[in-house]
């Protein structure tokens, strides 16, 4: 891995004024990811350079194997790049060690997954409280914030229900409330409607629209055009490179049938 230059001064780089200008949430510079499988190298991402601002709603699209999950794992601080630099909120996070990455992840990013990833034995309220428990937030404040997050997704009346007592769409809304409860800089959703029927998918995407209108930055990874059409900007990957990047109408407009 060639992250020699980044590991040393990660914390001081931002302090030294290298931080990107205000309004920029994510800055990727020549980001690359190589997976090594024995003697073979898989270049999952190559030379990805882009910026995402604080108020953006972005869809990352592309065929299977194009690098969507790899890019989302890097942006979400779940993995580290093989080359290039990643700034999140002005802080260089490429090259950070696992503990520091985990701390940044907890503070900055709310994740929404295709499979919801809720605790089966816990109520909706308890599920939403969990990230605050990990942070050591006192129980009263925790409960208050979790209730507010459930209200945001329209599920106040289901707070005592367990996941098995909720529909798929409701489960995903609980997961979204859990992602929101820490007030992250960024909501990162990986195929959030992949396990939902089309009506329920539309409800979830309406909710994302509202959350974006409220000022949340959202990145949705999807292979579905209908889902991507909710975003304002589309980044299309092909063979690990950014093939297109622009307003949703432009990216899908030109010969953009299904
Ligand atoms: P997508 O999410 O767009 O389907 P991925 O980011 O999962 O694409 O994968 C991009 C490329 O990297 C693919 O060729 C895939 O086989 C490879 N890849 C992904 N994860 C790994 C891994 N952990 N080890 C080796 N190769 C991987
Ligand atoms: Mg994937």
Length of the chain: 258
Q: Which of 44, 81, 190 to mutate to test the pocket of ligand 1 (most atoms within 8 A of CB)?
A: 44
pLDDT of residue 7: 40
Residue 89 structure tokens: 């909120």
d(C-alpha 81, C-alpha 63), whole Å? 21
Q: Which of 31, 32, 35 to mutate to test the pocket of ligand 1 (most atoms within 8 A of CB)?
A: 35
pLDDT of residue 16: 45
Predicted confidence (pLDDT) per residue in 148-176, tens digit: 999 999 999 999 999 999 999 999 999 99
Beta bridge partners of 27: 51, 87
pLDDT of residue 253: 76
Question: Is 64 near ligand 1, meaning CB less than 6 Å away?
Answer: yes
Predicted confidence (pLDDT) per residue in 9-35, tens digit: 444 444 444 544 459 999 999 999 999
Predicted confidence (pLDDT) per residue in 78-118, tens digit: 999 999 999 999 999 998 999 999 999 988 999 999 999 99
Using the mean position of ligand 2's atoms as its centre, give its distance from the Cα of residue 206 in Å: 23
Report DSSP state, residue 78. Answer: S
Q: Nearest residue CA, atom 25 of ligand 1?
A: 35
On whether the CB atoms of residues 109 and 76 are closer than 8 A, the answer is yes
pLDDT of residue 255: 47
d(C-alpha 74, C-alpha 88), whole Å? 11
- The closest ligand to the CA of 73 turns out to be 1
Question: Is 62 near ligand 1, meaning CB less than 6 Å away?
Answer: yes
Q: Nearest residue CA, atom 11 of ligand 1?
A: 44
Predicted confidence (pLDDT) per residue in 185-244, tens digit: 999 999 999 999 999 999 999 999 999 998 899 999 998 899 999 999 999 999 999 999
Residue 198 structure tokens: 């089309």
Question: Is 15 near ligand 1, meaning CB less than 6 Å away?
Answer: no
Question: Is 134 near ligand 1, meaning CB less than 6 Å away?
Answer: no
Question: Is 66 near ligand 1, meaning CB less than 6 Å away?
Answer: yes
Residue 258 structure tokens: 């299904």
pLDDT of residue 254: 52
Q: Mark 103-136 as b/e (b = at least 16 C-beta within 10 Å).
A: ebbeebbbbbbbebebeeeebbbbbbbbbbeeee
pLDDT of residue 11: 43
| Residue recorded with tokens 């949340």 | 216
Q: Which of 59, 130, 109 is nearest to 216 (CA)?
A: 109
List domains and CATH numbers for the chain: 54-83+96-253 (3.40.50.300)
On whether the CB atoms of residues 225 and 252 are closer than 8 A, the answer is yes
Share of the chain above pLDDT 90, in %: 83
Predicted confidence (pLDDT) per residue in 37-70, tens digit: 999 999 999 999 999 999 899 999 999 999 999 9
Q: Which of 155, 175, 169, 241 is nearest to 204 (CA)?
A: 169
pLDDT averaged over every residue in the chain? 90
d(C-alpha 90, C-alpha 95), whole Å? 14
Ligand 1 closest atom vs CA 63: 3
**Strand runs labelled E in the chain:** 24-37, 40-53, 57-61, 83-88, 91-92, 109-113, 186-190, 217-221, 233-238, 241-247
* Mean local confidence (pLDDT), 114-132: 96
Output phi, psi for 56, to 5 deg.
-85, 155
Question: Is 114 near ligand 1, meaning CB less than 6 Å away?
Answer: no
Q: Nearest residue CA, atom 15 of ligand 1?
A: 65
Using 50, 70 and 90 to split pLDDT, how confident is the model at 252?
confident
Residue 31 structure tokens: 């980001």
CA distances 98 to 81, 102, 192, Å, are: 13, 6, 26
């Amino acid at each position: 891995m060639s992250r020699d230059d980044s590991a040393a001064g990660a914390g001081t780089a931002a302090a030294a004024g290298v931080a990107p200008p205000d309004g920029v949430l994510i800055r990727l510079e020549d980001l690359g990811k190589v997976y090594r499988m024995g003697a073979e190298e898989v270049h999952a991402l190559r030379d990805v350079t882009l910026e995402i601002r604080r108020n953006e709603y972005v869809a990352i699209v592309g065929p299977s194997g194009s690098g969507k999950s790899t890019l989302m794992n890097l942006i979400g601080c779940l993995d580290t790049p093989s080359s290039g630099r990643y700034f999140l909120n002005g802080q260089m996070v490429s090259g950070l060690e696992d503990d520091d990455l985990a701390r940044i992840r907890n503070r900055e990013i709310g994740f929404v997954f295709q499979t919801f990833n809720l605790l089966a034995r816990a109520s909706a309220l308890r599920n939403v409280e969990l990230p605050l428990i990990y942070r050591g937030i006192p129980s009263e404040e925790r409960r208050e914030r979790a209730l507010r997050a459930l209200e945001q997704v329209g599920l106040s009346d289901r707070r005592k229900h367990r996941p098995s007592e909720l529909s798929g769409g409701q489960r995903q809304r609980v997961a979204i409330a859990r992602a929101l409860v820490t007030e992250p800089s960024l909501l990162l959703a990986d195929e959030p409607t992949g396990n939902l029927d089309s009506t329920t998918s539309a409800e979830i995407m309406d909710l994302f629209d509202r959350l974006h209108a409220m000022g949340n930055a959202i990145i949705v990874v999807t292979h579905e055009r209908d889902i991507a059409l909710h975003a304002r900007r589309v980044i299309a990957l092909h063979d690990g490179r950014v093939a297109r990047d622009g307003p949703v109408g432009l990216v899908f407009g030109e010969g953009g049938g299904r």
